[in-house]
Amino acid sequence: MLLTREKTAFYLQDLETPVGKSVNLTIAGLVFLSSVSFVVQTYKIPDNFRLLLDGIDQAILLIFAAEYLLRLWSEENKIKYFFSFYSIIDLMAILPFFLGADAISFIRLLRWFRILRLIRFLDKKFIFGISTEDSLISARILFTLFAIIFVYSGLIYQVEHPVNPKNFATFLDAFYFSIVTMTTVGFGDVTPISELGRLLTVLMILTGIALIPWQVGDLIKRLVKTANQVETVCSGCGLSFHDADAIFCKNCGTKLRKD
């Protein structure tokens, strides 16, 4: 059956029907698989296994390119979509496919941003079995923190490993450096030596100072708020948890029945 633009857009955005959910779960799984593949390739592995991972990554890249073109084709306002946040993230992940220059260093840097594509799926809380808005916000905060550290770790590894392989031998070394730097602990046992590596380190420190305290503070407030809630199912929208003294549902306004 030939897909129309409307059906294509529906399946790429829908997470309630079996087909739509399968499509989006598959895309999310491929994003996760490709990110794991990048990490594994920073270690010493057999050449045949490395070739296998490269082949898998090329196949995933082809799927992502096809998905991006389908999303662009199904949008009525293509200009607006092209400059949207999700479109820019998707485009950064597939630039090697369009440019045919996966060996170029600055293009290889962009592949670490691919994990940011998972942000799209955090807007759909039931895909992860999250039942409350506060839990969804907490999940977004945790993922944001992890994604930032992951991206910085990939970038600093890609920049420093060729010139400083002793200190940045694997992704774990870069991950350790990113956490120590962004939390401003600064043990000093691992240091970048390239100019770009030092610039990334400065950006890590600034990001850690500006973002992490705010995100962690917000997360703690959410956890405390959630701990003070009780299970009171709303008859209107089915929201399960509300504040202990709530009279009306915070989601739809229906009066709550308290047994």
Assign 3-class secondary structure to the chain.
CCCCHHHHHHHHHCCCCHHHHHHHHHHHHHHHHHHHHHHHCCCCCCHHHHHHHHHHHHHHHHHHHHHHHHHHHHCCCHHHHHCCHHHHHHHHHHHHHHHCCCCCHHHHHHHHHHHHHHHHHHHCHHHHCCCCHHHHHHHHHHHHHHHHHHHHHHHHHHHHCCCCCCCCCCHHHHHHHHHHHHCCCCCCCCCCCCHHHHHHHHHHHHHHHHCHHHHHHHHHHHHHHHHCEEECCCCCCCCCEEECCCCECCCCCCECCCC
At residue 222, the pLDDT reads 64
The stretches in the chain having pLDDT less than 50 are 1-2, 103, 126-127
Q: Residue 52 has what pLDDT?
A: 94
Please state the pTM of the whole predicted model.
0.75
Specify whether the CB–CB gap between 218 and 242 falls below 8 A: no
- The confidence score (pLDDT) of residue 175 equals 95
pLDDT at 120: 76
pLDDT digit string (tens) for 3-35?
566 666 555 666 666 777 788 888 888 989 999
The confidence score (pLDDT) of residue 141 equals 78
Structure confidence at residue 256 (pLDDT) = 72
The confidence score (pLDDT) of residue 1 equals 45
pLDDT given for residue 202 in this prediction: 93
